[in-house]
Amino acid sequence: MVKHIPNIITSLNLLCGGIAILLAASGDLVTAAFFVFAGIFFDFFDGLAARWLNARSEVGLQLDSLADVITSGLAPAVVMVQLLSLSVFGTYTDLAELFSSDAWNSDLMDYLPFTGLIIAVAAAYRLAKFNVDTRQSDSFIGLPTPANAILILSLPLILHFQPTETLDALILNKWFLLGLTIFSCIIMNAELPLFALKFKSWDFRSNAVRYVFLLLSLLLLIFLKFAALPVIIVVYILLSLFRRN
């Protein structure tokens, strides 16, 4: 029974992702974001549980990636589709209606929201590479899919909990959203070494960048709240580049 505990935790990640997709498709992006964050929480602890219980398995590795495709790939992709829909149409839309027989004469711009789905494709490709890349046992090459999901899911949370005229105008700008979509697809698959939050020991010298990152993240969350989330992802990338140099 013990050996199945990590896979059960991974399955909870997948379940959270499935619920998040349903919520995002119905326009409830805020609750969808919290379910994605819950899924990422389970994603973090399934690996810990596997190590603590000495219950690593090839099935668990594959299940973990499949769950991440849903929670950290498809869920943020659907959220981006809805954000682009809000930007283009001024409201969340049943995008399936665009495939009706009466809609084929629509303006080409009406189909822009569907570009958000390439996030799911890029995330799946990144996870497939991760499974066969021996270089990523103690670090990452390219932005991990959970970090990218946090970047995307921070947007509806900022709109809902910290609305300002400037931020709202930026987040709901269709070209900003399209640019962010392209950026996230590239950064997930870029040959960019990024540190992992895995502590082999607790001494400061070998974990300085991790401790600095955690401290900065805590301070940013205290002062900026949800607006801190995209900043934290940028800080993570910059610290990794600084560490590399």
| Residue indicated by tokens 């990794």 | 240
Q: Is the dihedral of CA 143, 146, 148, 154 positive or negative?
A: negative
| Residue indicated by tokens 């929670």 | 71
| Residue indicated by tokens 């105008």 | 169
Q: Alpha helix (H) ranges present in 140-203? A: 145-161, 165-171, 174-189
Does residue 81 carry a pLDDT above 70? Answer: yes
CATH 1.20.120 fits 2-197, yes or no: yes
Question: What residue type is assigned to position 127 of the chain?
Answer: L
Spans of all domains in the chain = 2-197
Binned at pLDDT 50, 70 and 90, residue 228 comes out as very high
User: DSSP letter at 27?
Assistant: T
Phi/psi for 11 (5° steps) reads -65, -35
pTM of the shown model: 0.92
How far is residue 133's CA from residue 156's CA, in Å, rounded to a whole number? 33
Provide the CA 215 distance to its chain's centre, in angstroms. 21
Q: What percent of the chain clears pLDDT 90, i.e. is strictly above it?
A: 67
Q: What is the pLDDT of residues 155-214, one digit of tens each?
A: 999 999 999 999 999 999 999 999 999 999 999 999 999 998 876 667 777 788 999 999
Q: What is the pLDDT of residues 127-172, one digit of tens each?
A: 999 888 878 767 899 999 999 999 999 999 999 999 999 999 999 9
